[in-house]
Amino acid sequence: MEFKLLVDAGNTRVKTALMDAEGHLEPLFNVSYSDLPKQQIEHSLKGIWLAEVSGTERAQQVEAWLSQFAAPITTIQSEQTAFGVENAYETPQHLGVDRWLALIGAYNEVPKATLIIDAGTAITVDWLNAEGKHLGGWIVPGVDLMKQAVTARAPKVFSDADTDWGKAQQVGRSTPECLANGCVNAFVGVIRQALAVSETELDWFDFRVLFSGGSTPLLPADLKRRGELRTELVLQGLSYYAKTN
C-alpha cells in the first residue's frame, strides 16, 4: 500500500504522520532535528506534504532527509481562505503555516468557536469562530525561550540539569526552581487570560479549547480538563491539503 507522508517541521522538533489511501492518519514520529537523519520509513511514499516554520538551516535538514524518498514534495503556505477557514491577517502568508493548518484541522473537524493553543518554541493562541473566521491570535515566547531570555541577560540567574521543567501552581525555593516555575506559570497565565478574553471581549461561552505542542504536559489539571489535547492538529490540517491531490 502506498502512503502520503505529512511533515510538521517546527522550530524545535519534527512531527510526522502517514496518510493511507482512505485518508486515515497514523502518527509516525516526533523527533529533534539532530535525530531526524536516523528516522526510517518502511513504506513506499506516493507524495510528501510539508509545513515548515523554521529557518533555512533546519529547512535544509528536512529537505536532505526527504530527498531519500524520491517522492514529490508539496510545501504548504498560509492562504487567505481554504477549507472553509478565513485567515485574519492582512498579509495572509505571514501567518505561521503551523497556525494556519491547526485552524483548518480544528474547523473541519467541528465547526464551532475554538481557542487553539500551540505551546512549542513559541506559544501561539488563535481564535476561530463557528463560521470558520480566524479572528486573530497571540505569539508569546515558549517556556524554554522565556527561561533562556532571563539567563541570557541576568548573569546570576541559572538553570540546572536536576530541576525539571517546572510546576504549575507552585513556588520555587532556589534560583532554578524560581525560574522554571515562574516560566511555567507565565504560560499558564497566558491561557487563563486567553479564556478570559474569549468570554469578556468575544462573548464566547460555549467554545472548544484545543491544546498542542511540547509544553502541554506542564498544564495544571483544571486547564487540561477544560480543553482537549490535540498533538496532531497541524498534521490533521495538512491532511486536508494531502487529500485534495
Ligand X SMILES: Nc1ncnc2c1ncn2[C@@H]1O[C@H](COP(=O)(O)OP(=O)(O)O)[C@@H](O)[C@H]1O
Sequence ranges of the binding site for substrate: 89, 96-99, 175
Q: Are 186 and 195 in contact (CB under 8 A)?
A: no
Over the Cα atoms of the chain, what is R_g? 19
> Which range in 94-102, 108-116, 126-134, 170-178 contacts ligand PAZ by CB under 6 A?
94-102
13 is a contact residue toward ligand X (CB under 6 A)? yes
Subset of residues 65 to 94 that bind ligand X, contact rule: CB under 6 A: none
CB of 28 to ligand PAZ, least distance (A): 18
Binding-site sequence positions for ATP: 8-15, 121
Binding-site sequence positions: 8-15, 89, 96-99, 118, 121, 175
Closest CA to 8 of 214, 243, 219, 229: 214
Q: Write out the three cell numbers for 10.
A: 517546527
Annotated catalytic residue 98: yes
Residue for grid cell 480538563: 225
Binding-site string for ligand X from residue 152 to residue 191, where x marks contact by CB under 6 A and - marks none? -------------x--------------------------
CB of 55 to ligand X, least distance (A): 12
Strands 85-86 and 81-82: antiparallel
215 is a contact residue toward ligand X (CB under 6 A)? yes
> Which range in 42-50, 115-123, 127-135, 186-194 contacts K ion by CB under 5 A?
115-123
Contacts of 121 (CB under 8 A, 6+ apart): 10, 11, 12, 142, 144, 145
DSSP string computed for 85-123: EE---SSGGGS-HHHHHHHHHHHHH--S-EEEEEESSEE
Sheet holding 228-229, edge to edge: 134-141, 122-128, 114-119, 208-212, 228-229
Subset of residues 168 to 227 that bind ligand PAZ, contact rule: CB under 6 A: none
120 is a contact residue toward K ion (CB under 5 A)? yes
Q: Are 96 and 228 in contact (CB under 8 A)?
A: no
> Which range in 58-66, 113-121, 199-207, 224-232 contacts ligand PAZ by CB under 6 A?
113-121
Cβ neighbour number for residue 22 with a 10 Å cutoff:
6
Of 183 and 242, CB closest to ligand X: 183
Q: Which of 35, 98, 126, 206 is catalytic?
A: 98
The one-character DSSP state at 69 is G
Helix (H, G, I), strand (E, B) or coil at 234: helix
Binding site for ligand PAZ (CB under 6 A): 10-11, 53, 94-96, 98-99, 118, 120-122, 124, 139, 142
Binding site for ligand X (CB under 6 A): 10-13, 120-121, 142-144, 165, 213-215, 217-218
